[in-house]
Amino acid sequence: MAPSPSSPPIAQQQRASAEESDEAIAAAIQCLDDFMTAWNARDIKACEETMNFPHARLSGANGLTVSAKGEMTQEMFDKMLGEAASLKDWHHSAWDRREVVAAGPDKVHVQTRFVRYRADNSVLSSFDSLYVVTREDGHWGVRMRSSFAP
């Protein structure tokens, strides 16, 4: 089938798509940076600003949590950090690896490994994960994440 006379040439469409994907990737990586900064600051409001809702998390034990904006309170977040055995000595986290495995203009899949550190910067644990970052109503946010973390 021949392209319609009003359609841009395929090479031009591919360039535009690649440019859109590059912009999406940059926005998604910035979103993940902002998420990690908010998480390390233990600031649930800032964490929510890096998400799109409903937000889904699939934990290491295949527990699915779907949350709406405003459901997680700072008190719940602090309690989770205080009670979770895997977070007992946790001080901060950092990305060890982020690899974009799929990208389009409004959605980016990022395979990651994050590391949890103690206050002395010794490694507490590390987990492979997959983050799906989406643009919804002009806002880039983590829509879902799946990790092997408890």
> Measuring CA to CA, how many Å separate 136 from each of 26, 38, 71, 109, 143?
16, 20, 19, 15, 10
Q: Model pTM?
A: 0.84
DSSP-assigned letters across all residues of 47-102? HHHTEEEEEEEE-TT--EEEE-TT-S-HHHHHHHHHH-GGGTT--EEEEEEEEEEE
Distance CA 16, CA 11 (A): 9
Domain-located, residue 3: no
Q: How many CA atoms lie within 13 A of 122 on its CB side?
A: 3
| pLDDT at residue number 12 | 46
- Cβ contacts of 11 within 8 Å, gap of 6 or more: none
Contact 106, 26 (CB under 8 A): no
Chain segment 14-52, per-residue pLDDT in tens: 444 778 899 999 999 999 999 999 999 999 999 999 999
| pLDDT at residue number 19 | 82
Chain segment 98-140, per-residue pLDDT in tens: 999 999 999 999 999 999 999 999 999 999 999 999 999 999 9
- The domain that holds 64 is classified in CATH as 3.10.450.50
* CA 72 to the chain's CA centroid: 17
Distance CA 20, CA 23 (A): 5
| pLDDT at residue number 16 | 47
Distance CA 74, CA 32 (A): 20
Q: In what order do the strands lie in the sheet with 92-103?
A: 64-67, 51-58, 139-147, 123-136, 107-117, 92-103
Domain-located, residue 100: yes
Number of domains the chain contains: 1
Helix, strand, coil abundance in the chain, percent, nearest 5:
35, 40, 30
Chain segment 50-87, per-residue pLDDT in tens: 999 999 999 888 889 999 999 988 888 777 777 777 77
- Comparing 148 with 87, the larger pLDDT belongs to 148
| pLDDT at residue number 88 | 83
| pLDDT at residue number 77 | 78
Domain-located, residue 2: no
**For residue 39, what are the domain limits?**
10-147
